[in-house]
Structure 1
Amino acid sequence: MSIALAAALQAGSAWAVEPFQLKDIRVEGLQRTDAGTVFASLPFRIGDTYNDEKGAAALRALFATGLFKDVRLEVEEGVVIVIVEERPVIASIDFRGLKEFDKDTLAKSLKDFGIGEGLPFDKALADRAEQELKRQYLTRSLYGAEVVTTVTPQERNRVNVTFTITEGTAARISEIRIVGNKVFSESTLKGLFDLNDGGWLNWYTKADRYSRAKLNADLETLRAYYLNRGYLEFNVDSTQVAISPDKQDITITINVSEGQPYTVTAVKLEGDYLGKDEDFKTLVTIKPGQPYRAEAVAETTKAFVERFGTFGYAFARIDARPEIDRTTGQVVLTLVAEPARRVYVRRINVAGNSRTRDEVVRREFRQFESSWYDGRKIKLSRDRVDRLGYFSEVNVETNEVPGSIDQVDLTITIKEKATGNLLLGAGFSSADKLSFTASVKQDNIFGSGNYLGIELNTSRSQRTVVLSTVDPYFTIDGISRAFDIYYRTVKPLNSQGEEYELVTPGASIRFGVPFSELDTVFFGVGVERTQIKGDAALPQNYFNYRENFGATSTTVPLTVGWTRDGRDSALVPTQGRYMRLNLEAGLLGDARYWRANTQFQQYIPLTRRFTLGVNAELGWGKGLGGKPYPIFKNFYGGGLGTVRAFDQGSLGPVDVIGAYIGGNRRLNINSELYLPVPGTGNDRTLRWFTYVDVGNVWGENEKINADSLRASAGLGVSWISPVGPLKLSYGTPIRKQPGDRIQRLQFQIGTAF
């Protein structure tokens, strides 16, 4: 007798199966699914006693796999027959009409919902996928986007799924209104927002596209603005977002209550400060007599937490309790500390690195496993990993160890970015026409943390090829090793012919020794051979040097250098300092000399969106042993990186035939004021700047004085482009001499100054 169990369970006890001992189990209807998958889901085996409860459990388990469209159980003479109908498998997923998103991005998003190539197809999941696609478009303000799903059957029980998308046009914010403000104007408050209702660069920033997340961030910025000016009871009462019937225009109305300003009269410490109350008081940045500033309160509580962290208290809590007096407009702030318990670090985990090796991250850590938790070392470790430049995001999380009250695990989560860098630079002048510089660099080659770079300069006056490699951890203690191999030709500007040139092949090796967390000292040695080739139109200085010391000079330069980098960012610095000093001495070989070069950079945040950058560089060289300073070691000035608006390499002494030959001393001072581009909000990837450059180059017999300095001023645009930082500047000389060569328009990709 054969019974369909699914029907029996629905029909009631009249169709119930009497318990019996299983003789066999058969599966029918499988096409792709392995029979073992079915057997593993069944709650019974051959020889077990079979009953209705086990049959119902088997049906639930098989449907739960998601592999089957229909499942039936039949019982025949002690044998259970499992009859299945498999779901079709998705052979391919395609998107039509897609412009706003990348296809791979959407495919990955849908796979999280169970819709992906090779997965079983389910109509319910397809409906959820449609909703997910619409949600993705809502994040881009495309409220009119429509999605239609087409399922095309294929052979072998497969289907092709096609999502046809009509994106429409993005809804724009047509108006932002702030209601209830009295102290500050609406234009001032709207200027704090990343969202806007009419910026002329919205085609680039897309700041007029509504996003709930962006609006929430802007509201927090608005709240912080008031709280930092004493308005302790400021509140955003409500926010209304209205969209037009055609889903093209959005109006945002923000209702606020400003309250009254409060002045801090006293700051009190309560709780357990480990007997170091006086030490913690030095960290308080809230000053009595000044308006209440939430930013200062946050800085103080953060400093307290970090100080507790240096003593091993990873979970210290600081509660800031303001006691306000509305009558007098005064507030007393009480900081209550609860250090909790002291802990040590059990394990350090690295997450998010698919290409970079673990050791590249771990060797930067100053917090060690199985040692007391030290918040200062953890922050230093995070900063050191961030300064590698290999990652766009670096975060450290502290997690309690289950079952332990005095242990934590640290997880450093990184987000890798492309570490290859393409640098391009160009300038135009009437003499040199168009000149280019280029380089291809890889800072984290093969995920090893090593550097490999090739630099190329193709200007008419200087042509250079440099191959460099750096191993930042040549030794386990962090001593770096670098190799440079180069081939350089130089032709001074304004030459009357192209038959002569300086040819310098060479190689060097240097080691970097870290003396502190910010300071590194470099030692190196190299060998190079410089040949003065050609006779036609040879500058007199070169002719004299060749007559006295020969056409070929071999030099063994020894180098010592020092760097300190305390900037908050290498790409878009807003504060901090960078210093560099390099000394080169030729004590062996034909040429005897010393050559020093020092650089200083300082970035000063004038306001939240305005930054002043100052760069100064000084170079000085002198001959040794009674020999003159080698002319082929001269400094050059003018153009990119020195004094803009003057032709590249055109500053300094001029030979009797009119060639610019450089000098043994150089000074340049650059200042740049960075300002936000109107309409870009707080976006720092695109800024414009004004600059003033001062400097010159002097020969051995020339006197350095202020009258000989050249100066220029101009403006430009700085953009963190996909291929690197780009600067485009246009300037004019404000201090020049007759005969100076001018180059007003210049651009460069890859450097800060």
Structure 2
Amino acid sequence: MTRPTVRRCLLSLALAAALAGPAQAQNYEPFTVADIRVEGLQRISAGTVFTYLPVEKGDTLDRSRSSEAIRALFKTGFFSDVRFERQGEILVVTVTERPAINTITLTGNKDIETEDLLNGLKGIGLTQGETFNPLNLDRVTQELIRQYNNRGKYNVSITPTVTNLDRNRVDITIAIAEGKAARIRDINLVGNTTYVEDDIRRSWESNTSNWLSWYKRDDQYSREKLSGDLEKLTNYYLDRGYVDFNVESTQVAISPDKRDIFVTANIAEGEVYTISSVKVSGDTVLPQEDVEKLVLVKEGDTFSRGMIELTSDTIIATLGNIGYAFAQVNPVPEIDREKRTVGLNFFVDPGPRVQVRRISFKGNTSTADEVMRREMRQFEGAWFSQAAVDRSKIRLQRLGYFDTVEIETPEVAGQPDQVDVVVNVKERNSGQFTFGLGYQQSYGLITSVQLSQSNFLGTGNRFNLAVQNNSYSKQFSFGMTDPYWTDNGVSLGFNISYTDFDYSDRDANLAQFDNAVSSGEILLGIPLTETDSISMSLGIDRNQITTDDFNTPPLLIDYLVDALGDRARFPQYHVDNDRDEDTPIEDDDGTPGTDPLTLGPYRKWNVNAWRLQAGWQRDSRNDFLMPTRGLYHRIGAEIVLPGSDLEYYRVNYNFEHYWLIRPWLGLKSAAELGYGDAYGVTKDQTCRVYDDFGAIVPGQSTDCGLPFFRNYYVGGPNSVRGFESNSIGPFYRYSDDFRQPIGGSFKTVGTFELYFPTLFDSRGTRLSAFFDYGNVYRSVDSWEAKTLRLSAGMSLQWQSPMGPISISYAIPLQYERHDQIERLQFTFGGTF
């Protein structure tokens, strides 16, 4: 027996049971009920039965009252059978309870989450612990089939199974075989004589199968998507003046195997209409001539519903920014079909001017209200401004404390001229204490202890303490910044750090010398506008540079000698020439004081500097973690002040631009330029000249430029991917098989990156395709476009709970024979 047959039988039995009582009631004459007794109860109490039973002691029970009472008990849904019997003057109610649901199990569902399905089942009473009604199970089956059909899955099979258990319980299993979604094989527009079908359907969500369908799933049929596309079809023609356009009919056919869908839409284009007149009426609040300037259509233009709607929205937004939150603009058309013209009257209804009564925050369990309130550009007691609300949302998103920010503006009950502003946020972990391991391909294993908090104790202050170690450096840093040191947003902070670089590791692709850097600085930031700010810092650095005559490139050592003077070599030691244990090593020849000291290969320079930095930045990006829109510009200058051991400067420019090409596709373009040089006393010093291979050029000298330990480097996961880190640019050649990059004073790097923001559900995960370019040069004069390194590839970025992870695969497109290629690159965990 099939499942539908079983259900029909159950329904028939239930109806028969409902009629059984009245049929039996014919066997007794009307009588006065002296008492009522209920039999057959297991889980349900007798009090529940008496609550629903419309018969009490002392009532006269006849055939009609008996039938009515039985129906009332059946309506409760608790019973599968109800019978009335008479024993003397006692009414005996015999019931058979429906079983209780023990468990509900769903299998095979992928398109619809189990949690969503269970919540839907609960809404119709099909949940664990409730009374089981077979009719509810049939309703669930039909609803699931409908939902899957709406997703284009017409081969879906829903098989419910009911298993009887002891103690009048049942287990319910709903097995779902989703099948594959039906694919759109053909979309046919009939009646389009003016425009090509490909142009009309360019923005449709529904499409036939193509090479991007695996990602966009646009070839999967959906009734909702098709309805939206037909609306876009109407808009397409209305935006081009076809006022009488109409979709006359739509046919959707499915193949016998329910795998292919064929869509046909019959349309009537009509004629093109022009605008005969435009006027603005109603209460414009602002001077009418100012509102008329906002009208984007004029007499003689081709009719366009899109431009008309944009005009209405522009006027509404303008009024909304001065407090008229509920303003409406209704464009009233006057159509002359003989002349093919439309007259427009924009009727303005501003509604009441609205004040903001209260601003409240929800979801911020850690962040203090004050931290969020100071980012708000809409204020309590002020006139409502939609622009201020939108700007407040962006500022909150850019804090980096929240996963989501949503702002609602509900009306105040009984006060049509007031609204509340409710900010709902979902906090992310803005602090981190990490003791663990990371890995970066170029630098190897990174061990770190890190305590960082960008929202320290919910105050918005930034705090960091870190100790880190990898194959070529040991670092310590400690700092804190108060972003609102003053009420108007002036920030103040400090940073102390110590780093010991050991560049003897050839895998790092850095010039080989040791540099222990101790530094401290005070930071100051001053906001200028909503997007512009300037920053300054004053710090002191101490660079302790140790060179090795055997490994450090000679041009680096010569720079220090020429600019600062030579330093004594160490260690100093005597050589045991005679290898005689009885002879002191410092007096091998028997004549005291005549054995010379041998000098070691190391020399050490201490370079002290007072460093002043200043920068201007404009940041209009819409998000802190994964921006999709906006611009970022930064110009920064660093100058080591006169009186320092070396006097030099560096200037940097950074640029980023984000925009969405489609909801599923974004583009990032970025560029970075850097230039540095010496000045003052250091510039006046004369340094030896080396060629591109690191060999000295006899008889030539030049000004001493940017110190080599402040050179720029290019290559690797954070600049031009596909090349080993720091490997691009000038180098010193020890031999044909070993070159040591030494960096340069002029850097140019950039990228174009297509990213897919909706490919993953996780907001912190992004897949992208990129094109990188860049190089570093000894000076600006050395720059040539043909020397730029080019690469292209794919990248995956993931903000994992353990830190950011980035994996990229790049193919170098333009490179030199000696370049060090590294196609697969990845970083795990943060670096300082």
Report the TM range for the smaller structure's normalisation: 0.7 to 0.9
3-state SS in 2 of match to 1:208? coil
Once residues 647 and 703 of structure 1 are traced to their aligned partners in structure 2, the CA distance between those partners, rounded to angstroms, is: 23
In structure 1, what is the equivalent of residue 142 of structure 2?
131
Offset at residue 590 of structure 1 (A) = 7.1
Change (3 A) 1:403 1:596: same
Offset at residue 210 of structure 1 (A) = 0.9
- The farther-off stretch of 518-527 and 365-374 is 518-527
Pairing 1:599–2:599 present = no
Pick from 276, 300, 303: which aligns with 2:314?
303
Cα deviations by residue, 1:370-421 (Å, 9 ceiling, x for unpaired): 4432222222223334445676765544443343332334455667889999
In structure 2, what is the equivalent of residue 666 of structure 1?
747
Change (3 A) 1:105 1:296: same
3-state SS in 1 of match to 2:144? helix
Pairing 1:233–2:314 present = no
3-state SS in 1 of match to 2:102? strand
Question: In 2, are the aligned partners of 1:727 and 1:749 still within 8 Å (CA)?
Answer: no
Change (3 A) 1:134 1:463: farther
Question: In 1, are the aligned partners of 2:315 and 2:329 still within 8 Å (CA)?
Answer: yes
CA-based RMSD of the aligned residues comes to 5.8
Offset at residue 162 of structure 1 (A) = 1.1
Pick from 553, 556, 579: which aligns with 1:539?
553
Cα deviations by residue, 1:463-502 (Å, 9 ceiling, x for unpaired): 9898998886788766666978785746386899998554
Pick from 556, 565, 588: which aligns with 2:619?
565
Offset at residue 146 of structure 1 (A) = 1.2
Question: In 1, are the aligned partners of 2:637 and 2:652 still within 8 Å (CA)?
Answer: yes
Change (3 A) 1:104 1:192: same
1:396-415 equivalence runs, <5 A: 396-412=407-423
Could you tell me the TM-score, scaled by structure 2's length? 0.69
3-state SS in 2 of match to 1:255? strand
In structure 1, what is the equivalent of residue 725 of structure 2?
648
Change (3 A) 1:581 1:433: closer
Q: Give 1:516's aligned amino acid.
A: T
Once residues 253 and 438 of structure 1 are traced to their aligned partners in structure 2, the CA distance between those partners, rounded to angstroms, is: 63
Offset at residue 354 of structure 1 (A) = 8.9
Question: In 1, are the aligned partners of 2:632 and 2:656 still within 8 Å (CA)?
Answer: yes
Once residues 17 and 396 of structure 1 are traced to their aligned partners in structure 2, the CA distance between those partners, rounded to angstroms, is: 67
3-state SS in 2 of match to 1:278? helix
Once residues 255 and 190 of structure 1 are traced to their aligned partners in structure 2, the CA distance between those partners, rounded to angstroms, is: 14
- The structure showing larger relative contact order (alpha-carbon pairs under 8 Å, at least 6 residues apart) is 1
Once residues 88 and 490 of structure 2 are traced to their aligned partners in structure 1, the CA distance between those partners, rounded to angstroms, is: 80
Question: In 1, are the aligned partners of 2:464 and 2:480 still within 8 Å (CA)?
Answer: yes
Question: In 1, are the aligned partners of 2:659 and 2:667 still within 8 Å (CA)?
Answer: yes
Q: Give 1:601's aligned amino acid.
A: E
Change (3 A) 1:110 1:461: farther
Once residues 29 and 467 of structure 1 are traced to their aligned partners in structure 2, the CA distance between those partners, rounded to angstroms, is: 76
In structure 1, what is the equivalent of residue 11 of structure 2?
none
In structure 1, what is the equivalent of residue 593 of structure 2?
none
Q: Give 2:773's aligned amino acid.
A: D
In structure 1, what is the equivalent of residue 529 of structure 2?
516
Change (3 A) 1:610 1:374: closer
3-state SS in 2 of match to 1:307? helix
Change (3 A) 1:610 1:80: closer
In structure 2, what is the equivalent of residue 184 of structure 1?
195
Offset at residue 142 of structure 1 (A) = 1.9
Once residues 104 and 748 of structure 1 are traced to their aligned partners in structure 2, the CA distance between those partners, rounded to angstroms, is: 35
Pairing 1:378–2:389 present = yes
Once residues 413 and 76 of structure 2 are traced to their aligned partners in structure 1, the CA distance between those partners, rounded to angstroms, is: 32
Once residues 15 and 345 of structure 1 are traced to their aligned partners in structure 2, the CA distance between those partners, rounded to angstroms, is: 73
Question: In 2, are the aligned partners of 1:356 and 1:446 still within 8 Å (CA)?
Answer: no
In structure 1, what is the equivalent of residue 631 of structure 2?
577
In structure 2, what is the equivalent of residue 696 of structure 1?
776
In structure 1, what is the equivalent of residue 701 of structure 2?
none
Change (3 A) 1:91 1:496: closer
Change (3 A) 1:35 1:553: farther
Change (3 A) 1:667 1:688: closer
Change (3 A) 1:11 1:32: closer
Question: In 2, are the aligned partners of 1:365 and 1:381 still within 8 Å (CA)?
Answer: yes
- The farther-off stretch of 105-114 and 451-460 is 451-460
3-state SS in 2 of match to 1:372? coil
Once residues 102 and 614 of structure 2 are traced to their aligned partners in structure 1, the CA distance between those partners, rounded to angstroms, is: 63
3-state SS in 1 of match to 2:347? strand
- Aligned identity (percent) is 35
Offset at residue 599 of structure 1 (A) = 1.2
In structure 2, what is the equivalent of residue 682 of structure 1?
none
Change (3 A) 1:540 1:132: farther
Once residues 95 and 487 of structure 2 are traced to their aligned partners in structure 1, the CA distance between those partners, rounded to angstroms, is: 61
Offset at residue 314 of structure 1 (A) = 1.6
3-state SS in 2 of match to 1:704? helix
Question: In 2, are the aligned partners of 1:268 and 1:334 still within 8 Å (CA)?
Answer: yes
Once residues 671 and 9 of structure 1 are traced to their aligned partners in structure 2, the CA distance between those partners, rounded to angstroms, is: 83
Once residues 476 and 262 of structure 2 are traced to their aligned partners in structure 1, the CA distance between those partners, rounded to angstroms, is: 57
Cα deviations by residue, 1:42-95 (Å, 9 ceiling, x for unpaired): 9999xx999999999999999888777789999999999999876544333222
Could you tell me the TM-score, scaled by structure 1's length? 0.75
Once residues 338 and 706 of structure 2 are traced to their aligned partners in structure 1, the CA distance between those partners, rounded to angstroms, is: 77
Pairing 1:258–2:269 present = yes
Larger Rg: 1 or 2?
2
3-state SS in 1 of match to 2:138? helix
Once residues 161 and 710 of structure 1 are traced to their aligned partners in structure 2, the CA distance between those partners, rounded to angstroms, is: 70
Question: In 1, are the aligned partners of 2:246 and 2:269 still within 8 Å (CA)?
Answer: yes
Offset at residue 173 of structure 1 (A) = 1.3
Change (3 A) 1:303 1:103: same
Question: In 1, are the aligned partners of 2:397 and 2:624 still within 8 Å (CA)?
Answer: no
Pairing 1:617–2:672 present = yes
Pick from 258, 263, 273: which aligns with 2:284?
273
Question: In 2, are the aligned partners of 1:600 and 1:615 still within 8 Å (CA)?
Answer: yes
Offset at residue 305 of structure 1 (A) = 0.6
Question: In 1, are the aligned partners of 2:397 and 2:622 still within 8 Å (CA)?
Answer: no
Question: In 2, are the aligned partners of 1:194 and 1:207 still within 8 Å (CA)?
Answer: yes
In structure 1, what is the equivalent of residue 346 of structure 2?
335
Pairing 1:96–2:107 present = yes
Question: In 1, are the aligned partners of 2:672 and 2:749 still within 8 Å (CA)?
Answer: yes
3-state SS in 1 of match to 2:153? coil
- The farther-off stretch of 52-61 and 712-721 is 52-61
- The farther-off stretch of 210-219 and 600-609 is 600-609
Change (3 A) 1:537 1:687: closer
Question: In 2, are the aligned partners of 1:525 and 1:556 still within 8 Å (CA)?
Answer: yes
Once residues 679 and 213 of structure 2 are traced to their aligned partners in structure 1, the CA distance between those partners, rounded to angstroms, is: 60
Question: In 2, are the aligned partners of 1:427 and 1:745 still within 8 Å (CA)?
Answer: no
Cα deviations by residue, 1:325-373 (Å, 9 ceiling, x for unpaired): 445544433211111222223344656x497868476554322344432
Once residues 196 and 468 of structure 1 are traced to their aligned partners in structure 2, the CA distance between those partners, rounded to angstroms, is: 54
Offset at residue 304 of structure 1 (A) = 0.6
Question: In 1, are the aligned partners of 2:775 and 2:789 still within 8 Å (CA)?
Answer: no
Cα deviations by residue, 1:573-628 (Å, 9 ceiling, x for unpaired): 67642112344455699776554432123457899999875433232445577457
Question: In 1, are the aligned partners of 2:79 and 2:97 still within 8 Å (CA)?
Answer: yes
Change (3 A) 1:292 1:611: farther
Q: Give 1:293's aligned amino acid.
A: S
Question: In 1, are the aligned partners of 2:509 and 2:741 still within 8 Å (CA)?
Answer: no
- The farther-off stretch of 147-156 and 687-696 is 687-696
- The farther-off stretch of 580-589 and 105-114 is 580-589
Question: In 2, are the aligned partners of 1:323 and 1:332 still within 8 Å (CA)?
Answer: yes
1:178-257 equivalence runs, <5 A: 178-257=189-268
Cα deviations by residue, 1:293-313 (Å, 9 ceiling, x for unpaired): 333222221111111112222
